[in-house]
A and B are shown apart, each in its own frame.
Chain A
């Protein structure tokens, strides 16, 4: 029996119940079911950004990371897969959602498989997820599943939504099973940019064999 997958759901839904949360939960549940059918297990952890709103804005303005935000960062650092879901406001992802991913270290999510999901009050917003979220997750060097999820009010009664969810979920599970993120990290972690203490506080290795370290020890700046 292999270790269970850790699946982290990040949701920026606000209402209770929130349709964004419902979409994310549905994807998470179907991911867990699929993993089980394929002989594995998955633990699901939910990061509800509504509860982190004050700490996210504090981190944006003062770099101080509060305890709840740190827990969310730790969870994402351990995640094998991520489902990231946001409502669409004014033709853009929720500012809370964008702010959260903006305060994360650039190297926290490298190589991790992600399913993107959005909800909106009208189908006219349907391309927000592909046109705006993909670039953010590209910057973070994540591996975004080819199928992204979008639900306007009419989609909740349409069996097509579940079909798309299942498509995205299979993509996510296959990406997790491939071990891509782990292998990238094992073989190529050093080739990405890091700072001391980045990757959510886990990147604390120090390379003594660098031009800057030689300069620090009385050497000269290379041309």
Chain B
């Protein structure tokens, strides 16, 4: 079971101090947050992708590569990578590069994005968002698995004899999570490919997510990737922790009340009752988080949102201390004790290499010499023929 934090990358005025961080301050802060995430013993750091203010994270692989260089153990991922407005070829290239630089300490979560004006900026149309996401991922999946592809689709210019470089590290594609809160087609695609499914269950009553995750588990089994219990599920969560419950409530309320998305709306207590938000003592956050397993079954990854709504860096770092020091160790112990032994851990690069090669050495693609027309040849790598043969027979 992996625990970590995910950031939206919002730059929000601190409603208590009145201070709005500059982009430079917030970008520096998020690097410190990621380092602290590793330092306190958590496993995963995720960053969102946005292309409009007040967000800073337009280039997630650049940020994550920098963090990878400053950490040793932390898994870097996204929340989410836009599979609609990004060219899937660029996703294949950029994330394969990140995979190499981080030595496999990465994966990614795909999402559609719901800001209508962003789509035309990238030549797309939000009304086509679902088929666009599905087709783009069908292509991305092939780009990481076939050295040379011919492809034709509805939304992107065709590819003839195209090789996405670099090939994935050890020729093992990055693991992919599909993030969705209300789209059965996305759950179906995750199940079809045996990928992970992540539900950031912030708003809806849990019954909807339970049905969607159940559907994903059933389809995962239907496509022969394992049993329903073995499907790979991740969940979002949101917490504010203080040693004393009443301090947590008092400290977080002004941030809750003015938070982007749900601020100026529901009472915090109502929101806590009907969503995964926990504001309270370490034990209260533990108790609430343990209910997720009861609703959704054993799962592989739990991410908490802790750095949004203008919370100052010092507060976020304190939150990480409490999360890593007091909440997660208990969660690890309790969840491990309850876990069905058939349920796999969250996929890591090392485990995926092992699954593909066993004790054999992983493939290391080496390009043929440049002969001036490498794009037209059928065999850009020295061992491609053997690989194709092995895969095809």
Contacts and interface: CB of A to CB of B under 8 A. Distances in A.
Interface of A: 55, 57-58, 61-67, 70, 195-197, 201, 204, 206, 208, 212-213, 215-221, 223
Interface residues of B, number: 36
Contacts of B284: none
Given A67-B270, A197-B204, A197-B208, A212 B131 contact: yes
A66 B270 contact: yes
B134 A66 contact: no
B364 to A, nearest CB: 28
B357 interface: no
B270 A215 contact: no
Interface of B: 130-131, 134-135, 138, 153-155, 182-186, 188-189, 192-193, 203-205, 207-208, 211-212, 215, 261-266, 270-271, 273-275
A205 to B, nearest CB: 9
A217 B189 contact: yes
Given A213-B188, A216-B189, A196 B265 contact: no
Contacts of B185: 212-213, 215-216
Which of A55, A62, A195 is packed against the most chain B CB atoms within 10 Å?
Answer: A62
Contacts of B205: 65, 70, 201
B143 to A, nearest CB: 14
Contacts of A223: 154
Nearest to B132: A221
Contact of B208 (A70, A196, A212, A213): A196
Contacts of A206: 184, 215
Nearest to A70: B205
Contacts of B274: 64-67
23 contacts: A57-B265, A62-B203, A62-B261, A64-B203, A64-B266, A64-B275, A65-B205, A66-B274, A67-B273, A67-B274, A70-B205, A196-B208, A196-B212, A197-B204, A206-B215, A208-B188, A216-B189, A216-B192, A218-B138, A218-B192, A219-B138, A220-B154, A221-B131
Nearest to B259: A62
Interface SS majority for chain A: loop
Contact of B266 (A58, A201, A212): A58
Contacts of A58: 265-266
Contacts of A70: 205
B109 to A, nearest CB: 17
Nearest to A212: B185
B265 A64 contact: yes
B134 A212 contact: yes
Contacts of A213: 184-185, 188
Contact of A215 (B134, B193, B204, B262): B134
A77 B183 CA distance: 22
A65 B130 CA distance: 25
A63 B203 contact: yes
A171 B189 CA distance: 48
The 3 A-B residue pairs whose C-beta atoms are closest, nearest first, are A62-B265, A216-B189, A58-B265
B203 A212 contact: no
Given A58-B265, A70-B205, A216-B186, 9 more contacts: A61-B265, A62-B265, A64-B275, A65-B205, A196-B208, A213-B184, A217-B188, A221-B135, A221-B155
A218 B186 CA distance: 12
Contacts of B135: 215, 220-221
A55 B267 CA distance: 10
Contacts of A212: 130-131, 134, 185
